[in-house]
Amino acid sequence: MTQPNNPRVLPASSHLSTLAVHAGEERQKAGDAITDAIFCASTYTFPDTQSIIDFIEQDLPREEYGRYGNPIEKVAERKLAALEGGESALLYSSGMAAIVGLLMAKLNSGDEVIFFDECYHRSRQFCTDHMARFGVVTRQVPACDYDAMEAAITPRTKLLISESPTNPHLSIVDLERFVAIGKRHGVETLIDATLGTPYNLRPLAAGVDYVLHSATKYLAGHNDLLAGVIIGSKAQLESIRDLRGIMGAINSPHNIYLLLRGLKTFELRMQRHNENGLKIAQFLEQHPKIEKVYYPGIESHKYYEVARRTMRGYGGLITFLVKDADAATTAKVVDAVRVPRIAPSLGGVESLIEQPLVMSYFKRTPEERQKFGISDNMIRLACGIENPEDLIADLAQALETI
Ligand SMILES: *Cc1c(COP(=O)(O)O)cnc(C)c1O
């Protein structure tokens, strides 16, 4: 039996929640089950030699060997492409595997790539420490400085990269300006929209070439797996797909099942993440022991106007500064909360809290921390989907301890 290849056809007007539940799935599945089967197979059999020849000559829709894909991966890729409004999606074993796969496929020796400097530090590090070994030049310009980005373009520039919102400062990229720079110079654009999510941000509609997500975060949503995805046009993803089959950074069918299960509730979870983020940011902003709140949905935020224009909601991530607090006093607040867990990451159902100074910048010098805008009194809170009043009461009691 070759795999059925008869994805459900949904009304073109389908909204995100309908797509999250149904898009990309086959009409009739193995065993007539409503859920997708997990096929534990490293390889796929052919009934006879002629079937192999037909498969090769006619590019038939079936599996061959596990590194090139598996049936449930195709379902997840179609669903993620539908959610993002893109033609095609490529799933990876982590967000970093996705970005490494894209950069390795797209850049050649002598090419240049330009980042806004608030991008995920591991992505920039891969370029500065590793792509550099293959002759790729990385330029970094201040986040949201469009003139600096345009000025850094040379005839060798192949890719402009940003994140939106950025982490931990939640800067919001004006996608129209970002895309316009790329188009003016014939340079492709990539947005890491992990914090934005397809619920809150629509980079492809704005003309961005590639959207990337650490699906580990909001898309999977349950702090129980790692995955990454790139979405774009079929033609532009082709060379990246070919390299993925060689790299082998693919997901096990079990992992993809969990991702699909998490995706079913994507819209509901995002609505609560957005509600919690906004309510808690507003609570923190009026609190006498808080010096500053970074959250794109509050008016005091540097990019509030851009966010309001381009986003549907602002997500669950909030960064804030505790007034007149040194590193130890700030740690006391983190240690006093009872509901959020102390951990890196974001986007899952459980709220997570951390002090960036300790969690991500402990080995950096004070000068480096200052350059990255990481102060001793900074706390990053990734709101989960708990009840907002419970989270607010918990933060209030934690702030009472200092
Ligand atoms: C977590 C994260 C990544 C890396 O994703 P992994 O799944 O951890 O490899 C990349 N970009 C952003 C914005 C992230 O938050």
What residue segments make up the domains of the chain, in order of their start? 16-263, 266-399
- Give tens-digit pLDDT for 73-106: 999 999 999 999 999 999 999 999 999 999 999 9
Q: Is the CB of 92 under 6 A from ligand 1?
A: no
Per DSSP, the residues of 134-191 read: GT-EEEEE-TT-HHHHHHT--TTEEEEEEESS-TTT-----HHHHHHHHHHHT-EEEE
- Give tens-digit pLDDT for 297-329: 999 999 999 999 999 999 999 999 999 999 999
CA of 23 from ligand 1 middle (Å) equals 24
**Of 122, 283, 296, nearest in space to 214 by CA:** 122
Contact status, residue 85 vs residue 94, Cβ threshold 8 Å: no
114: helix, coil or strand? strand
Q: What is the pLDDT of residue 13?
A: 92
CA of 52 from ligand 1 middle (Å) equals 38
Q: Is the CB of 226 under 6 A from ligand 1?
A: yes
CA of 100 from ligand 1 middle (Å) equals 12
Give the CATH fold of the 266-399 domain. Aspartate Aminotransferase, domain 1 (3.90.1150)
Distance CA 268, CA 1 (A): 37
pLDDT range class, residue 125, cuts 50, 70, 90: very high
Q: If one looks up domain 16-263 in CATH, what number appears?
A: 3.40.640.10
- Give tens-digit pLDDT for 11-29: 989 999 999 999 999 999 9
* Strand 112-116 relative to strand 290-294, pairing: unpaired
CA of 8 from ligand 1 middle (Å) equals 31
Its pTM stands at 0.97
- Give tens-digit pLDDT for 218-250: 999 999 999 999 999 999 999 999 999 999 999
Q: Is the CB of 94 under 6 A from ligand 1?
A: yes
What percent of the chain is modeled with pLDDT above 70? Answer: 99
Q: Is the CB of 228 under 6 A from ligand 1?
A: yes
- Would the CATH topology of 16-263 be identical to that of 266-399? no
345 CA: nearest ligand 1 atom: 1
Other residues' Cβ atoms within 10 Å of the Cβ of residue 118: 24
pLDDT of residue 3 exceeding 80, the answer is no
